[in-house]
Amino acid sequence: MRDIIIIGSGPAGFTAAIYAARAQLNPLLIASSVEIGGELMNTTEVENYPGFPEGIMGPDLMTNFQQQAERFGTEVVYDDVVELELDGPVKRVKLGNGGVEEARTVVYATGSAYRKLGLPEEEVLSGHGLSWCATCDGFFFRQKTIAVVGGGDSAMEEATFLTRFADKVYVIHRRDTLKASKIMQQRAFDNEKIEFIWNAEIAAIHGTDAVTGVTLRDTVNGEERGLDLDGLFVAIGNDPRTHLVHGKLDLTAEGTIAVDGRSSRTSIAGVFAAGDVIDPNYRQAITAAGTGAAAALDAEHYLAALDASDDEEAAPVAAPELAGVAAE
């Protein structure tokens, strides 16, 4: 049986693997069958990951992560986890190919998925003027005209933040009222650079190499019109990838996996979680990597305590009591 299995191949998973491998825990990392490398595979230039003063392409950064993890002995499997048995001292991880891997600890780092508009152009233009992250990409839109899609708090926050860079920010919303909190709404209404386009949805995104505009469809009368843009930010929500642990691990009110304070310890002893799947706030590569490191260190300490308790025939290490929403 292995000491540790890491699920997910984004910054959190690979960082956990680097730390676990260097601690001689011989990690097995399940990378997924299609989305190896995580969210940064969908972007171009990453300018805010420390250590790369000239910036680095997202896929190149993730290749570096993987090479560094493999250099210290991480074994990478290109398959999906389809089922988990997490209770008890032996954790069982079932793969898409039917195989089952066993370990004393699991690090769950499956990330979260930004909701998409569902348009075919999204795949092509992601990282080319189409973004889901103002913190990541706002800097590229200095003195530009851009739009934010959405009507919640995150859309208002992104739009307000983007006015630091852009000359003009449209907020496109499918209704004539916002879901955002009053204070966030007011902040956006008061901002001279923000203009609201009500009762409108995006019917198409224009551009071949980069976003040049959109077709707006009126949600009341169905009429369509064009809008020239240099960039489009989609802020219609984010779903932590927790479906494999529903009913098993405690979740927070935001739907992320609940962890014990600043640690990565979940509601089941020996199961640790890291990255965007535990993070409703920051969702950055550097923060995901940071919690990935914490997860490997927590797993290492847990295994050491388990070995010590085996020696002393004492009780096994207990799971923490979490303040999150209990698993159903």
Ligand X SMILES: Cc1cc2nc3c(=O)[nH]c(=O)nc-3n(C[C@H](O)[C@H](O)[C@H](O)COP(=O)(O)OP(=O)(O)OC[C@H]3O[C@@H](n4cnc5c(N)ncnc54)[C@H](O)[C@@H]3O)c2cc1C
- Catalytic residue IDs: 133, 136-137
Q: With contacts defined by CB under 6 A, name the span among 28-36, 166-174, 193-201, 254-262 that binds ligand X.
A: 28-36
For residue 102, give Cα distances in angstroms to 5, 85, 89, 242. 8, 9, 10, 20
Any bridge partners for residue 123, and if so which? none
On whether the CB atoms of residues 238 and 115 are closer than 8 A, the answer is yes
- Of residues 124 through 143, those in contact with ligand X by CB under 6 A are 126-127, 132-133, 136
- Of residues 39 through 68, those in contact with ligand X by CB under 6 A are 39-40, 42-43, 46, 48-49
- Of residues 179 through 218, those in contact with ligand X by CB under 6 A are none
Binds ligand X (CB under 6 A): choice among 3, 4, 11, 230: 11
β-strand 100-108 against 2-7: which pairing, if any?
A: parallel
On whether the CB atoms of residues 200 and 217 are closer than 8 A, the answer is yes
Should residue 150 be labelled a site residue for ligand X when binding is judged by CB under 6 A? no
Should residue 240 be labelled a site residue for ligand X when binding is judged by CB under 6 A? no
- How far apart CA 136 and CA 119 sit, in angstroms, is 22
On whether the CB atoms of residues 11 and 18 are closer than 8 A, the answer is no
- Of residues 66 through 105, those in contact with ligand X by CB under 6 A are 80-81
In the 8-state DSSP scheme, what is residue 323?
Answer: S
- How far apart CA 233 and CA 165 sit, in angstroms, is 13
Structure-token pair, residue 10: 């984004």
CB of 93 to ligand X, least distance (A): 9
Should residue 233 be labelled a site residue for ligand X when binding is judged by CB under 6 A? no
Q: How many Å is the Cα radius of gyration of the chain?
A: 22
- Of residues 277 through 296, those in contact with ligand X by CB under 6 A are 283-286, 288
CB of 231 to ligand X, least distance (A): 12
Identify the CA nearest to 298 among candidates 324, 323, 319.
Answer: 319
Binds ligand X (CB under 6 A): choice among 6, 17, 23, 30: 30
CB of 293 to ligand X, least distance (A): 12
Binds ligand X (CB under 6 A): choice among 27, 29, 32, 270: 32
Sites of contact with ligand X (CB under 6 A): 7-13, 30, 32, 35-40, 42-43, 46, 48-49, 80-81, 109-111, 114, 126-127, 132-133, 136, 241, 244, 275-276, 283-286, 288
